[in-house]
Structure 1
Protein backbone atom coordinates (compact mmCIF):
# COMPACT_ATOMS: atom_id res chain seq x y z
CA UNK A 1 0.00 0.00 0.00
CA UNK A 2 1.25 3.49 -0.86
CA UNK A 3 2.48 5.68 2.04
CA UNK A 4 -0.19 8.34 1.43
CA UNK A 5 -2.90 5.69 1.56
CA UNK A 6 -1.48 4.24 4.78
CA UNK A 7 -1.28 7.67 6.42
CA UNK A 8 -4.81 8.60 5.41
CA UNK A 9 -6.10 5.25 6.66
CA UNK A 10 -4.39 5.74 10.02
CA UNK A 11 -5.81 9.26 10.29
CA UNK A 12 -9.30 7.98 9.67
CA UNK A 13 -8.94 5.14 12.15
CA UNK A 14 -7.80 7.61 14.77
CA UNK A 15 -10.72 9.90 14.00
CA UNK A 16 -8.46 12.70 12.85
CA UNK A 17 -10.06 16.07 12.13
CA UNK A 18 -7.96 16.10 8.94
CA UNK A 19 -10.97 14.63 7.18
CA UNK A 20 -12.32 18.16 6.90
CA UNK A 21 -8.98 19.58 5.76
CA UNK A 22 -9.52 19.44 2.00
CA UNK A 23 -13.18 20.32 1.93
CA UNK A 24 -12.79 23.82 0.42
CA UNK A 25 -10.41 22.55 -2.24
CA UNK A 26 -12.71 19.64 -3.06
CA UNK A 27 -15.65 22.02 -3.42
CA UNK A 28 -13.66 24.20 -5.84
CA UNK A 29 -12.75 21.12 -7.87
CA UNK A 30 -16.34 19.84 -7.94
CA UNK A 31 -17.40 23.26 -9.24
CA UNK A 32 -14.66 23.17 -11.89
CA UNK A 33 -13.14 26.34 -10.48
CA UNK A 34 -9.43 25.98 -11.25
CA UNK A 35 -8.53 29.52 -10.18
CA UNK A 36 -10.10 29.05 -6.75
CA UNK A 37 -8.37 25.68 -6.42
CA UNK A 38 -5.02 27.33 -7.21
CA UNK A 39 -5.69 30.07 -4.66
CA UNK A 40 -6.59 27.52 -2.00
CA UNK A 41 -3.40 25.53 -2.60
CA UNK A 42 -1.36 28.73 -2.48
CA UNK A 43 -2.88 29.47 0.94
CA UNK A 44 -2.14 26.04 2.36
CA UNK A 45 -4.74 23.50 1.21
CA UNK A 46 -3.11 20.17 0.39
CA UNK A 47 -3.91 18.31 -2.83
CA UNK A 48 -3.86 14.92 -1.10
CA UNK A 49 -6.11 15.80 1.83
CA UNK A 50 -9.20 13.69 2.23
CA UNK A 51 -12.31 15.83 2.63
CA UNK A 52 -15.36 15.36 4.82
CA UNK A 53 -16.88 13.16 2.10
CA UNK A 54 -13.88 10.80 2.24
CA UNK A 55 -12.56 11.74 -1.20
CA UNK A 56 -9.50 13.63 -2.47
CA UNK A 57 -9.74 16.55 -4.90
CA UNK A 58 -8.30 14.29 -7.60
CA UNK A 59 -11.10 11.75 -7.11
CA UNK A 60 -13.66 14.55 -7.52
CA UNK A 61 -11.92 15.90 -10.63
CA UNK A 62 -11.98 12.41 -12.16
CA UNK A 63 -15.61 11.85 -11.14
CA UNK A 64 -16.83 15.14 -12.63
CA UNK A 65 -14.62 14.90 -15.73
CA UNK A 66 -12.43 17.98 -15.30
CA UNK A 67 -9.29 17.10 -17.33
CA UNK A 68 -7.57 20.46 -16.89
CA UNK A 69 -7.99 20.25 -13.13
CA UNK A 70 -6.81 16.62 -13.09
CA UNK A 71 -3.63 17.65 -14.94
CA UNK A 72 -3.06 20.55 -12.60
CA UNK A 73 -3.62 18.45 -9.46
CA UNK A 74 -1.17 15.84 -10.74
CA UNK A 75 1.38 18.61 -11.44
CA UNK A 76 0.91 19.73 -7.83
CA UNK A 77 1.75 16.24 -6.57
CA UNK A 78 -1.69 14.66 -6.20
CA UNK A 79 -1.34 10.92 -5.61
CA UNK A 80 -3.44 9.06 -8.20
CA UNK A 81 -3.63 5.96 -6.00
CA UNK A 82 -5.35 7.36 -2.91
CA UNK A 83 -8.67 5.59 -2.59
CA UNK A 84 -11.95 7.02 -1.37
CA UNK A 85 -12.81 6.34 2.27
CA UNK A 86 -16.53 6.88 2.37
CA UNK A 87 -19.50 5.82 0.31
CA UNK A 88 -20.79 8.34 -2.19
CA UNK A 89 -23.80 7.50 -4.33
CA UNK A 90 -23.25 4.12 -5.94
CA UNK A 91 -19.57 4.09 -4.97
CA UNK A 92 -18.47 2.15 -1.93
CA UNK A 93 -15.26 3.13 -0.13
CA UNK A 94 -12.05 2.10 -1.89
CA UNK A 95 -12.51 3.64 -5.34
CA UNK A 96 -9.55 5.10 -7.23
CA UNK A 97 -9.58 8.20 -9.46
CA UNK A 98 -8.64 5.92 -12.36
CA UNK A 99 -11.67 3.72 -11.78
CA UNK A 100 -13.92 6.79 -11.75
CA UNK A 101 -12.45 8.11 -14.99
CA UNK A 102 -12.75 4.71 -16.68
CA UNK A 103 -16.33 4.26 -15.46
CA UNK A 104 -17.37 7.44 -17.27
CA UNK A 105 -15.10 7.00 -20.29
CA UNK A 106 -12.98 10.09 -19.71
CA UNK A 107 -10.14 9.13 -22.07
CA UNK A 108 -7.92 12.14 -21.47
CA UNK A 109 -8.18 11.74 -17.71
CA UNK A 110 -7.47 8.00 -17.91
CA UNK A 111 -4.36 8.74 -20.00
CA UNK A 112 -3.12 11.44 -17.63
CA UNK A 113 -3.69 9.30 -14.56
CA UNK A 114 -1.82 6.40 -16.12
CA UNK A 115 1.09 8.72 -17.03
CA UNK A 116 1.14 9.76 -13.37
CA UNK A 117 1.51 6.09 -12.33
CA UNK A 118 -2.09 5.38 -11.37
CA UNK A 119 -2.34 1.65 -10.72
CA UNK A 120 -4.77 0.04 -13.21
CA UNK A 121 -4.87 -3.11 -11.08
CA UNK A 122 -6.55 -1.48 -8.08
CA UNK A 123 -9.99 -3.06 -7.88
CA UNK A 124 -13.08 -1.81 -6.07
CA UNK A 125 -14.82 -3.78 -3.31
CA UNK A 126 -16.57 -5.91 -5.90
CA UNK A 127 -13.22 -6.93 -7.37
CA UNK A 128 -13.70 -4.95 -10.58
CA UNK A 129 -10.85 -2.97 -12.10
CA UNK A 130 -11.05 0.21 -14.20
CA UNK A 131 -10.72 -1.79 -17.43
CA UNK A 132 -13.76 -3.88 -16.47
CA UNK A 133 -15.99 -0.81 -16.29
CA UNK A 134 -14.57 0.70 -19.47
CA UNK A 135 -15.22 -2.58 -21.27
CA UNK A 136 -18.77 -2.89 -19.85
CA UNK A 137 -19.73 0.56 -21.10
CA UNK A 138 -18.00 0.27 -24.47
CA UNK A 139 -15.30 2.88 -23.88
CA UNK A 140 -12.91 1.32 -26.39
CA UNK A 141 -10.15 3.93 -26.13
CA UNK A 142 -10.15 3.65 -22.33
CA UNK A 143 -9.92 -0.14 -22.63
CA UNK A 144 -6.92 0.26 -24.95
CA UNK A 145 -5.19 2.65 -22.56
CA UNK A 146 -5.85 0.43 -19.55
CA UNK A 147 -4.72 -2.75 -21.34
CA UNK A 148 -1.18 -1.62 -22.15
Structure 2
Protein backbone atom coordinates (compact mmCIF):
# COMPACT_ATOMS: atom_id res chain seq x y z
CA UNK A 1 0.00 0.00 0.00
CA UNK A 2 1.29 3.45 -0.93
CA UNK A 3 1.44 5.35 2.35
CA UNK A 4 4.95 6.82 2.17
CA UNK A 5 7.04 8.58 -0.43
CA UNK A 6 10.42 7.30 -1.61
CA UNK A 7 11.74 10.87 -1.64
CA UNK A 8 12.36 10.72 2.10
CA UNK A 9 14.00 7.31 2.22
CA UNK A 10 17.62 6.46 1.51
CA UNK A 11 20.87 8.41 1.33
CA UNK A 12 19.76 10.61 -1.59
CA UNK A 13 16.73 12.06 0.20
CA UNK A 14 18.38 15.38 1.10
CA UNK A 15 19.76 15.90 -2.40
CA UNK A 16 16.38 15.10 -3.94
CA UNK A 17 14.64 17.56 -1.64
CA UNK A 18 17.12 20.32 -2.54
CA UNK A 19 16.55 19.56 -6.23
CA UNK A 20 12.79 19.70 -5.75
CA UNK A 21 12.93 23.00 -3.86
CA UNK A 22 14.96 24.60 -6.64
CA UNK A 23 11.94 24.58 -8.93
CA UNK A 24 9.27 25.60 -6.45
CA UNK A 25 7.74 28.96 -5.65
CA UNK A 26 7.64 30.28 -2.09
CA UNK A 27 4.18 28.96 -1.23
CA UNK A 28 4.92 25.57 -2.79
CA UNK A 29 8.04 25.28 -0.61
CA UNK A 30 5.94 25.93 2.49
CA UNK A 31 3.39 23.36 1.29
CA UNK A 32 6.08 20.73 0.76
CA UNK A 33 7.33 21.27 4.32
CA UNK A 34 3.82 21.29 5.78
CA UNK A 35 4.45 24.82 7.05
CA UNK A 36 0.94 26.20 7.56
CA UNK A 37 2.14 29.50 9.01
CA UNK A 38 4.42 29.93 6.01
CA UNK A 39 1.51 29.36 3.64
CA UNK A 40 -0.54 31.96 5.53
CA UNK A 41 2.26 34.52 5.33
CA UNK A 42 2.68 34.05 1.59
CA UNK A 43 -1.08 34.40 1.12
CA UNK A 44 -1.14 37.58 3.19
CA UNK A 45 1.57 39.00 0.93
CA UNK A 46 -0.78 38.53 -2.00
CA UNK A 47 0.80 35.45 -3.56
CA UNK A 48 -1.46 33.45 -5.86
CA UNK A 49 -2.56 30.28 -4.07
CA UNK A 50 -3.07 28.57 -7.45
CA UNK A 51 0.30 29.54 -8.95
CA UNK A 52 2.02 26.74 -10.87
CA UNK A 53 5.72 26.24 -10.14
CA UNK A 54 8.54 25.04 -12.36
CA UNK A 55 7.37 21.45 -11.94
CA UNK A 56 3.87 22.32 -13.14
CA UNK A 57 2.27 21.76 -9.74
CA UNK A 58 0.31 24.08 -7.44
CA UNK A 59 0.87 24.43 -3.67
CA UNK A 60 -2.31 22.44 -3.01
CA UNK A 61 -1.02 19.51 -5.06
CA UNK A 62 2.18 19.36 -2.99
CA UNK A 63 0.26 19.58 0.29
CA UNK A 64 -1.96 16.68 -0.82
CA UNK A 65 1.05 14.71 -2.10
CA UNK A 66 2.75 14.95 1.30
CA UNK A 67 -0.51 14.38 3.19
CA UNK A 68 -0.57 17.63 5.19
CA UNK A 69 -4.25 17.67 6.04
CA UNK A 70 -4.35 20.99 7.93
CA UNK A 71 -2.48 22.76 5.13
CA UNK A 72 -4.85 21.32 2.53
CA UNK A 73 -7.90 22.30 4.59
CA UNK A 74 -6.66 25.87 4.94
CA UNK A 75 -5.85 26.17 1.25
CA UNK A 76 -9.24 24.85 0.15
CA UNK A 77 -10.98 27.31 2.46
CA UNK A 78 -8.95 30.16 0.98
CA UNK A 79 -9.42 29.74 -2.74
CA UNK A 80 -7.21 26.80 -3.76
CA UNK A 81 -8.57 25.05 -6.84
CA UNK A 82 -9.35 21.37 -6.07
CA UNK A 83 -9.66 20.62 -9.79
CA UNK A 84 -6.37 22.06 -11.01
CA UNK A 85 -4.38 19.67 -13.23
CA UNK A 86 -0.70 18.79 -12.96
CA UNK A 87 1.10 20.22 -15.98
CA UNK A 88 3.72 17.48 -15.85
CA UNK A 89 4.17 14.09 -14.23
CA UNK A 90 6.09 13.72 -10.98
CA UNK A 91 7.11 10.31 -9.71
CA UNK A 92 4.16 8.01 -10.25
CA UNK A 93 1.65 10.87 -10.57
CA UNK A 94 0.79 11.39 -14.22
CA UNK A 95 0.23 14.58 -16.18
CA UNK A 96 -3.25 16.15 -15.91
CA UNK A 97 -3.82 14.58 -12.49
CA UNK A 98 -5.93 16.42 -9.91
CA UNK A 99 -5.37 16.68 -6.14
CA UNK A 100 -8.16 14.10 -5.76
CA UNK A 101 -6.27 11.65 -7.98
CA UNK A 102 -3.10 12.20 -5.96
CA UNK A 103 -4.92 11.47 -2.70
CA UNK A 104 -6.57 8.40 -4.26
CA UNK A 105 -3.20 7.07 -5.44
CA UNK A 106 -1.97 6.94 -1.84
CA UNK A 107 -5.26 5.79 -0.32
CA UNK A 108 -5.71 8.77 1.98
CA UNK A 109 -9.38 8.69 2.93
CA UNK A 110 -9.37 11.86 5.02
CA UNK A 111 -7.76 13.82 2.21
CA UNK A 112 -10.24 12.45 -0.34
CA UNK A 113 -13.12 13.35 1.96
CA UNK A 114 -12.14 17.00 2.38
CA UNK A 115 -11.41 17.42 -1.33
CA UNK A 116 -14.85 16.06 -2.19
CA UNK A 117 -16.38 18.39 0.40
CA UNK A 118 -14.84 21.30 -1.50
CA UNK A 119 -16.21 20.11 -4.84
CA UNK A 120 -13.34 18.13 -6.28
CA UNK A 121 -14.62 16.61 -9.52
CA UNK A 122 -14.28 12.82 -9.38
CA UNK A 123 -15.17 12.45 -13.07
CA UNK A 124 -12.00 14.11 -14.41
CA UNK A 125 -9.54 11.98 -16.38
CA UNK A 126 -5.74 12.32 -16.51
CA UNK A 127 -3.36 11.71 -19.42
CA UNK A 128 -3.23 8.01 -18.51
CA UNK A 129 -7.03 7.75 -18.90
CA UNK A 130 -7.45 7.31 -15.14
CA UNK A 131 -10.03 8.79 -12.79
CA UNK A 132 -9.69 9.04 -9.02
CA UNK A 133 -11.94 5.99 -8.72
CA UNK A 134 -10.04 3.78 -11.17
CA UNK A 135 -6.80 4.68 -9.38
CA UNK A 136 -8.26 3.67 -6.00
CA UNK A 137 -9.65 0.47 -7.51
CA UNK A 138 -6.26 -0.37 -9.02
CA UNK A 139 -4.70 -0.47 -5.56
CA UNK A 140 -7.80 -1.72 -3.74
CA UNK A 141 -8.14 1.23 -1.36
CA UNK A 142 -11.58 0.27 -0.11
CA UNK A 143 -12.22 3.38 2.01
CA UNK A 144 -11.42 5.69 -0.88
CA UNK A 145 -13.47 3.60 -3.31
CA UNK A 146 -16.49 3.83 -1.02
CA UNK A 147 -16.10 7.59 -0.56
CA UNK A 148 -15.88 8.19 -4.30
CA UNK A 149 -18.77 5.89 -5.17
CA UNK A 150 -21.09 7.47 -2.59
CA UNK A 151 -20.17 11.11 -3.22
CA UNK A 152 -22.61 13.20 -5.28
CA UNK A 153 -21.74 14.30 -8.79
CA UNK A 154 -19.72 17.46 -9.23
CA UNK A 155 -21.72 20.70 -9.38
CA UNK A 156 -20.46 23.91 -10.96
CA UNK A 157 -20.48 27.12 -8.86
CA UNK A 158 -23.65 28.27 -10.61
CA UNK A 159 -25.38 24.96 -9.84
CA UNK A 160 -24.40 25.14 -6.17
CA UNK A 161 -26.05 28.50 -5.65
CA UNK A 162 -25.82 29.33 -1.96
CA UNK A 163 -24.79 25.86 -0.80
CA UNK A 164 -21.42 27.22 0.35
CA UNK A 165 -22.85 30.33 1.97
CA UNK A 166 -21.77 31.60 5.37
CA UNK A 167 -23.78 34.15 7.35
CA UNK A 168 -20.72 36.03 8.58
CA UNK A 169 -18.36 35.77 5.64
CA UNK A 170 -20.85 36.55 2.90
CA UNK A 171 -18.69 38.36 0.36
CA UNK A 172 -16.29 36.93 -2.14
CA UNK A 173 -13.54 38.06 -4.44
CA UNK A 174 -12.94 36.38 -7.79
CA UNK A 175 -9.34 36.70 -8.96
CA UNK A 176 -8.22 36.97 -12.56
CA UNK A 177 -7.10 33.33 -12.51
CA UNK A 178 -10.65 32.22 -11.59
CA UNK A 179 -9.98 31.36 -7.94
CA UNK A 180 -12.39 32.61 -5.29
CA UNK A 181 -11.76 33.96 -1.80
CA UNK A 182 -14.75 33.98 0.57
CA UNK A 183 -14.80 36.32 3.53
CA UNK A 184 -15.66 39.80 4.76
CA UNK A 185 -14.15 42.85 3.06
CA UNK A 186 -12.92 45.03 5.91
CA UNK A 187 -11.15 47.86 4.09
CA UNK A 188 -10.16 49.20 0.69
CA UNK A 189 -7.66 51.67 -0.70
CA UNK A 190 -7.30 52.98 -4.23
CA UNK A 191 -5.15 49.98 -5.17
CA UNK A 192 -5.87 47.21 -2.62
CA UNK A 193 -8.66 45.32 -0.87
CA UNK A 194 -8.31 43.72 2.57
CA UNK A 195 -10.54 40.71 3.21
CA UNK A 196 -10.95 38.67 6.38
CA UNK A 197 -11.57 34.94 5.89
CA UNK A 198 -12.32 32.36 8.56
CA UNK A 199 -8.63 31.75 9.14
CA UNK A 200 -6.63 34.77 8.06
CA UNK A 201 -6.68 38.35 6.81
CA UNK A 202 -5.12 39.20 3.48
CA UNK A 203 -4.58 42.27 1.34
CA UNK A 204 -4.97 41.84 -2.41
CA UNK A 205 -4.03 44.23 -5.19
CA UNK A 206 -7.07 45.34 -7.15
CA UNK A 207 -5.46 44.62 -10.51
CA UNK A 208 -5.55 40.90 -9.55
CA UNK A 209 -9.32 41.02 -8.96
CA UNK A 210 -11.91 40.43 -11.67
CA UNK A 211 -15.03 40.71 -9.49
CA UNK A 212 -16.22 41.43 -5.93
CA UNK A 213 -19.75 40.74 -4.75
CA UNK A 214 -22.03 39.38 -2.04
CA UNK A 215 -23.22 35.80 -2.16
When the two structures are superposed, what TM-score results if normalisation uses the length of structure 2?
Answer: 0.57
Alignment partner of 1:121 out of 123, 127, 141: 123
Of 41, 52, 55 in structure 2, the residue corresponding to residue 53 of structure 1 is 55
Using CA pairs under 8 Å that are at least 6 residues apart, name the structure with larger relative contact order, 1 or 2.
1
SS at match of 1:90: coil
Number of residue pairs aligned between Structure 1 and Structure 2: 127
Structure with higher strand content: 2
Contact 2:94 2:128 in 1 (8 A): no
Cα shift at 1:61: 1.1
Q: Which residue of 2 aligns with 1:15?
A: none
TM-score (norm: length of structure 1): 0.82
The residue aligned with 2:35 is 33
- Aligned Cα root-mean-square deviation (Å): 1.2
* Aligned position for 1:94: 96
Return the offset for 1:52: 1.4
Unaligned runs of 5+ in 2: 1-23, 151-215
4+ aligned runs moved over 6 Å, structure 1: none
**What SS class does the counterpart of residue 42 from structure 2 fall into?**
helix
Point out the structure with max Rg over C-alpha. Answer: 2
Task: Tell me, yes or no, if the aligned pair for 2:93 and 2:102 is still in contact at 8 Å.
Answer: no
- Could you say what secondary structure the match of 2:40 adopts? helix
1:6-65 superposed Cα distances (whole Å, 9 cap, x missing partner): xxxxxxxxxxxxxxxx71100100011111111111111111111111001111111111
- Which protein is richer in helix relative to its size? 1
The unaligned stretches of length 5 or more in structure 1 are 1-21
